[in-house]
């Protein structure tokens, strides 16, 4: 077993469109365990830290404005090989390439406003989770 934790957050468009419950349900139906969750407003400074690897790219400013434009619902999920499986469930970043049945394939209409963010590797999860959650906010064994 390869037990992993990952960060998943529902972006402002997903919150606005009332898709939080749908996304939580999909994760629960996989048998994963929710170990942390909160609704929050992301500040510009926080967003720049989270998306630091994209700084200097053409879409960076739009991404920062978008993710700070409304509340998100941040979660930490735990499960066996959860990172690659969740990435598959989320679908391609560009909704044009996202398969039907994936979160983005079913709900996203825009490259930037694409409903969810999920850590793309164990290293990213280790970096991202502490940006959103203190250790005492996570509940698990």
Provide the annotated active-site residues: 117
Q: Which residue has the tokens 């037990």?
A: 3
Q: What is the CA radius of gyration of the chain?
A: 14
Which residues fall within 8 angstroms of residue 77, CB to CB, at 6 or more apart?
5, 6, 8, 27, 32, 33, 34, 35, 86
């Amino acid at each position: 077993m390869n037990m992993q934790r990952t960060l998943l957050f529902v972006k402002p468009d997903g919150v606005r469109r009332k898709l939080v419950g749908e996304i939580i349900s999909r994760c629960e139906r996989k048998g994963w365990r929710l170990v942390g969750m909160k609704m929050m407003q992301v500040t510009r400074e926080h967003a720049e830290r989270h998306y630091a690897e994209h700084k200097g790219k053409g879409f960076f400013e739009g991404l920062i404005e978008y993710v700070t434009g409304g509340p998100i619902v941040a979660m930490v999920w735990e499960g066996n090989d959860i990172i690659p499986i969740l990435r598959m469930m989320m679908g391609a970043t560009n909704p044009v390439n996202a398969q039907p049945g994936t979160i983005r394939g079913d709900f996203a209409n825009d490259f930037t406003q694409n409903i969810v963010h999920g850590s793309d590797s164990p290293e990213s999860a280790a970096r991202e989770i502490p940006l959103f959650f203190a250790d005492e906010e996570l509940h698990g064994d």
